[in-house]
Amino acid sequence: MRFGFGQVHAGGATDIGLRRAVNEDAVLVTETVFAVADGMGGHEAGDLASRLGIAALNELAVAFPGTDAAPGDSPPAEEQSAVSLPHAQDVLDAVTQADDRIREAIGARGGTTLCALVLVGLEDNGGAWPATDSLTSKLPVIGSQNNEPPATTTALRLPLPPPGTARYLQDAPEVAPDEAAGDAPDAATRRPLHDPEPTTDVLPRYRAASEKLLEQPSPISAAVDGDLAGDQMRLMLLNVGDSRGYRLRDGVLSQLTRDHSAVQELIDAGVITEAEAMIHPQRNLITRALGAGGNSVPDTQFHAPRPGDRYLLCTDGLTGEVEPAVIEQILHNHPERSKALSALIDAALASGGRDNISVLIVDVEAPSS
């Protein structure tokens, strides 16, 4: 997809892993909307929850397909607001719709995390972008001591294959379907050992029991990256649960999202360290999800597209198995998206593959000459 600042290309992949009988993850790659979701509650609930969440965002992408102007034909800055892109409120409405559909479909039997990156347009009154002086905190930058500017802040139509199979989405627009399929690992060589009890759950009871211990000022709900003056579009990143968003810029990987999880709250309260969180018995318990009761409001942030940036969206099937430094190395060493996707999934499988694994890469490239 070509825009005035350059081009945006993306590819995604999901794999059942080595221990699960059902893949409860779902991935969406369109021209303007990119997302991963990690369902909870088994095939009858979690798988449906993640697909419903992704379907709502797919409908958003259909309603706002963006533009595909030829090089040099991008609308001038004063006309880019007319490009078919959603506003920030349209994205939040789609998430709310997803939340409502999941609750109606499965009650409290399951839910899903969500991490999405959406190209959004500037509203006429400038209301899409939060004020920069409202930012009060910073998120970690992996492999660097210099933190980035802070980045914190609702009918299924997808051609989804049967559960329990490895599925790779087409890397659009330059990879053909047969080439994308050829990059997929051989699912036949990986037989699920068993279908263990779900290891991810939403814990309103845990929050209630730990209310005093975890009582901290709430983080701001939105953030902005870069100078917004005169710009007409942004990358809107949002997350609910423990699926994550990262950005590789100038060879340095930054974690942009903050997990909504029991251990993250314990870390924030100073009760445990990040190293202790890796082995904590409740490390897979999340405190926010779509359709599962309690808080389902996403954290949102806005980023200025910069040529050379590489964004990674992933479920905890990757981050629970692969160290951030290894993720950074893979993203840096594999400029071709299909190879980077395969390498990330292979790394998670080599580390145990205990959960479903979903990864999505969005590359911002300079305009074609």
* Residue 359 or 108, more confident: 359
For the segment 318-345, the average pLDDT, to the nearest whole number, is 96
Q: Scanning the structure block, which residue is given the tokens 């609910």?
A: 240
Find the helix or strand (DSSP H, E) in which 70 lies: none
CATH code for the domain of 186:
3.60.40.10
The DSSP 8-state label assigned to residue 332 in this structure reads: H
- pLDDT, residue 122, reads 80
Cα gap 74→82, rounded to integer Å: 12
146-152: long-range contacts, CB 8 A cutoff, minimum separation 24: 148/225, 148/249, 148/254, 149/223, 149/224, 149/225, 149/226, 150/223, 151/223, 151/225, 151/237, 151/254, 151/256, 151/257, 151/301, 151/303, 152/219, 152/220, 152/221, 152/222, 152/223, 152/258, 152/299, 152/301
In contact, 311 and 232? CB cutoff 8 Å:
no
Tally of residues, the chain? 369
Residue 290 has pLDDT above 70, yes or no: yes
> Which tens digit of pLDDT belongs to each residue from 162-176?
333 333 333 333 333
- pLDDT, residue 340, reads 98
Helix segments in the chain, DSSP class H: 46-63, 88-106, 177-182, 204-209, 262-268, 274-277, 316-319, 324-333, 337-350
Q: Which of 74-78, 122-126, 217-221, 226-230 has the highest mean pLDDT?
A: 122-126
Residue 230 has pLDDT above 90, yes or no: no
- pLDDT, residue 124, reads 66
Residue range of the domain that includes 209: 2-365
Cα gap 245→171, rounded to integer Å: 19
- Number of domain units in the chain: 1
For the segment 216-230, the average pLDDT, to the nearest whole number, is 36
Residue 350 has pLDDT above 50, yes or no: yes
> Which tens digit of pLDDT belongs to each residue from 26-54?
999 999 999 999 999 877 799 999 999 99
Report the percent of the chain where pLDDT is more than 70.
65
Residues with Cβ < 8 Å from 107, sequence gap 6 or more?
none
Residue whose C-alpha is closest to residue 200's, from 40, 24, 357, 14: 40
pLDDT range class, residue 90, cuts 50, 70, 90? very high
Of the listed ranges 79-83, 98-102, 355-359, the one predicted with least confidence: 79-83
Residue whose C-alpha is closest to residue 254's, from 217, 289, 296, 306: 306
Cα gap 176→174, rounded to integer Å: 7
CA 48 to chain centre: 18
Report the percent of the chain where pLDDT is more than 90.
52
